[in-house]
């Protein structure tokens, strides 16, 4: 029976079933179950079909949320899928890992006093259903075009661009230094947030649609950037940001202090069935250790929760500000707390203790001072407040900066901003080098999957316009 809309008064907000913390601590499976069609319809029917949908305004890919919610409520799932996939290349991925509390759902204005519509879970349900029913088909361009496009980086930005360009009939080759497609969706984000099959099936679909992948190939090392430019009519740089911010201080060079992404990548590789020497020898394995994670962002949350699942003896997260001021999503903090992680707010490391290998962190209490020019409260150490935390493994999750791409690519003309991100014209997505475009984290700095998708889509359109202009100019000159 199709549901009518505006049911928020009658129907309460329900997320898909969340597995009990005790069970989910024991494996790396996703923590949320699936909606069944009647639950999805009921939850979608809570939407009040706003005239100005703030959910859509705050969705980076401008999903037509009220319309696909209505179609879901009416049981018209194939149409809901068509609509949802027209603005988002990977709706089932965003439905799982967007920080909805800061984006669509956080801006759902259903009515004061009522909980938001569970937009992300419905979005995920629509496309999961589409895959089950066989509605998701490889790209079939209406006509082939001769021009070839190179994409460096098979993360969400590169993949979204690849799909859009292939739809337009271009010959698309994606180069990646890794052995699998997906970028941080495969090697960064843990599988309890995003199971890897979900990403890998997109790889197969893109290949079936004619996108060519050249893996285990680092541009700047295995193929020069100049060679790549010569091979293709246009190039998109979507290489992400990977240089981990470091921490200094006495003892910071001890063994057992590791960067977050090394730890997470090893865990993801183990989950994928790879053998990882640094996991086997314990370097990147939390089992049986007291683990201290330093940082308060989503990467830190992924590390603490991975450490719990690996069987750490204890897991603490040290963050120099308080809970209200942490950058990580509150939903992830709650999940981590449920799973047994201890948060030590307003605490910053001063030194690392140990002989050869770390055995503890010396920390100092912080207090929040007056807001600085950016409006963010400064943090200052509290005099005489030092304390020690035992640690057999310390994970540094302090954020990422871009690598030095002009040097890595042997291309000093590639312009960068003062943060090291690539400088592009924000309308054309083109760098100062003709035919070289850039998108995703390498332009924005560390951001979100959904923003990379948005940029990839926009950059693909601009690459198309660039090629078409060149074709027209060539015709005019004939």
Closest CB 12 distance from ligand SF4, rounded Å: 15
How would you label 46-83 residue by residue, b for 16+ Cβ within 10 Å and e otherwise? bbbeeeebebbebbbbebbbbbbbbbbbbbebebbbeb
**Position 363 contacts ligand SF4 (CB under 6 A):** no
Contact status, residue 203 vs residue 180, Cβ threshold 8 Å: yes
**Position 117 contacts ligand FAD (CB under 6 A):** no
Residues 6+ apart with CB under 8 A from 141: 166, 167, 168, 169, 210
**Residue 293 contacts which entry, ligand FAD, ligand SF4, none (Cβ below 5-8 A, type-dependent):** none
Contact status, residue 225 vs residue 410, Cβ threshold 8 Å: yes
Closest CB 402 distance from ligand SF4, rounded Å: 24
Strands 393-396 and 387-390: unpaired
- H or E segment at 14? none
* Closest residue by Cα to residue 319 from 335, 304, 338: 304
Decide whether 45 or 121 has the Cβ nearer to ligand FAD. Answer: 121
Q: How far is residue 437's CA from residue 331's CA, in Å, rounded to a whole number?
A: 35
Closest CB 185 distance from ligand SF4, rounded Å: 14
Q: Which window, 29-37, 63-71, 295-303, 337-345, contacts ligand SF4 (CB under 6 A)?
A: 63-71
- Tell me the CA distances in angstroms from 230 to 122, 348, 423, 464, 467, one per residue in order: 44, 49, 22, 18, 15
Q: Which window, 44-52, 210-218, 258-266, 469-477, contacts ligand SF4 (CB under 6 A)?
A: 44-52
**Residue 328 contacts which entry, ligand FAD, ligand SF4, none (Cβ below 5-8 A, type-dependent):** none
Closest CB 72 distance from ligand SF4, rounded Å: 11
* Token pair for 289: 């250790």
**Position 126 contacts ligand SF4 (CB under 6 A):** no
**Position 177 contacts ligand FAD (CB under 6 A):** yes
Closest CB 183 distance from ligand SF4, rounded Å: 17
**Residue 296 contacts which entry, ligand SF4, ligand FAD, none (Cβ below 5-8 A, type-dependent):** none
Residues 6+ apart with CB under 8 A from 278: 262, 266, 284
Q: How far is residue 444's CA from residue 98's CA, in Å, rounded to a whole number?
A: 17
Among 11, 20, 109, 226, binds ligand SF4 (CB under 6 A): 109
Strands 357-371 and 347-355: antiparallel
Residues 6+ apart with CB under 8 A from 27: 192, 309
Site string for ligand FAD, 325-364 (x = CB under 6 A): ----------------------------------------
Question: What residues from 187 to 246 belong to the interface with ligand FAD (CB under 6 A)?
Answer: 188-189, 193, 218-220, 238-240
Site string for ligand SF4, 64-103 (x = CB under 6 A): -xx---------------------x-----xx--x-x--x
**Position 297 contacts ligand FAD (CB under 6 A):** no
Q: How far is residue 100's CA from residue 235's CA, in Å, rounded to a whole number?
A: 32
**Position 450 contacts ligand SF4 (CB under 6 A):** yes
Q: How far is residue 289's CA from residue 316's CA, in Å, rounded to a whole number?
A: 11
Q: How far is residue 53's CA from residue 39's CA, in Å, rounded to a whole number?
A: 22
Q: How far is residue 154's CA from residue 200's CA, in Å, rounded to a whole number?
A: 11
Decide whether 189 or 307 has the Cβ nearer to ligand FAD. Answer: 189
Q: How far is residue 430's CA from residue 290's CA, in Å, rounded to a whole number?
A: 47
Among 48, 129, 285, 310, binds ligand SF4 (CB under 6 A): 48
**Position 54 contacts ligand SF4 (CB under 6 A):** yes
Among 31, 40, 41, 104, binds ligand SF4 (CB under 6 A): 104
Decide whether 94 or 438 has the Cβ nearer to ligand SF4. Answer: 94
Contact status, residue 453 vs residue 61, Cβ threshold 8 Å: yes
Q: How far is residue 264's CA from residue 278's CA, in Å, rounded to a whole number?
A: 12
Closest CB 305 distance from ligand FAD, rounded Å: 11
Which residues are near ligand SF4 by CB under 6 A? 47-50, 53-55, 59, 61, 63, 65-66, 88, 94-95, 98, 100, 103-104, 108-110, 117, 119-120, 123, 450
Binding site for ligand FAD (CB under 6 A): 97-98, 152-158, 175-178, 183-185, 188-189, 193, 218-220, 238-240, 261, 264, 298-299, 302, 440-441, 447-450, 452
């Amino acid at each position: 029976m199709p549901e009518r809309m505006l049911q928020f008064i009658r129907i309460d907000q329900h997320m898909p079933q969340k597995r009990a913390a005790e069970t989910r601590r024991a494996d790396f499976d996703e923590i949320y179950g699936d909606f069944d069609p009647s639950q999805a319809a009921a939850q979608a029917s809570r939407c009040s079909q706003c005239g100005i949908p703030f959910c859509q305004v705050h969705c980076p890919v401008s999903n037509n949320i009220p319309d696909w919610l209505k179609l879901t409520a009416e049981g018209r799932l194939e149409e809901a899928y068509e609509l949802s996939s027209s603005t988002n290349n990977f709706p089932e991925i965003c439905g799982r890992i967007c920080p909805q509390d800061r984006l669509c759902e956080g801006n759902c204005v259903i009515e004061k006093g009522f909980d938001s519509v569970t937009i992300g879970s419905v979005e995920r349900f629509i496309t999961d259903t589409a895959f089950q029913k066989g509605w998701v088909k490889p790209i079939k361009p209406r006509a082939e075009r001769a021009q070839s496009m190179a994409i460096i980086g098979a993360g969400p930005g590169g993949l979204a661009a690849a799909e859009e360009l292939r739809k337009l009939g271009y010959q698309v080759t994606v180069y990646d230094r890794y052995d699998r497609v997906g970028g941080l969706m495969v090697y960064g984000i843990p599988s309890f947030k995003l199971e890897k099959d979900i990403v890998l099936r997109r790889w197969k679909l893109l290949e079936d649609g004619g996108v060519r992948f050249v893996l285990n190939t680092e541009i700047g090392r295995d193929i020069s950037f100049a060679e790549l430019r010569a091979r293709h009519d246009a190039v998109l740089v979507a290489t992400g940001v990977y240089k981990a911010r470091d921490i200094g201080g006495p003892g910071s060079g001890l063994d057992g202090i590791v960067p977050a992404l090394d730890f997470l990548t090893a865990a993801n590789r183990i989950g994928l069935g790879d053998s990882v020497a640094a996991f086997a020898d314990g370097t990147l394995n939390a089992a049986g250790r007291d683990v201290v994670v330093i940082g308060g962002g989503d990467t830190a949350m992924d590390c603490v929760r991975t450490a719990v699942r690996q069987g750490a003896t204890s897991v603490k997260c040290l963050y120099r500000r308080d809970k209200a001021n942490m950058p990580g999503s509150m939903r992830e903090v709650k999940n981590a707390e449920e799973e047994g992680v201890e948060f030590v707010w307003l605490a910053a490391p001063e030194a690392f203790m140990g002989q050869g290998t770390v055995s503890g962190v010396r920390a100092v209490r912080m207090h929040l001072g007056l807001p600085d020019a950016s409006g963010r409260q400064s943090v200052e150490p509290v005099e005489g407040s030092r304390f020690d935390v035992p640690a057999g493994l310390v994970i540094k999750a302090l954020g990422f900066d871009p690598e030095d791409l002009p040097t890595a690519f042997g291309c000093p003309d590639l312009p960068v901003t003062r943060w090291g991100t690539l400088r592009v014209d924000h309308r054309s997505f083109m760098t100062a080098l003709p035919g070289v475009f850039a998108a995703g984290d390498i332009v924005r700095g560390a951001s979100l999957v959904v923003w990379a998708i948005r940029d990839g889509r926009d950059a693909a359109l601009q690459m198309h316009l660039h090629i078409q202009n060149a074709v027209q100019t060539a015709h005019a000159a004939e």
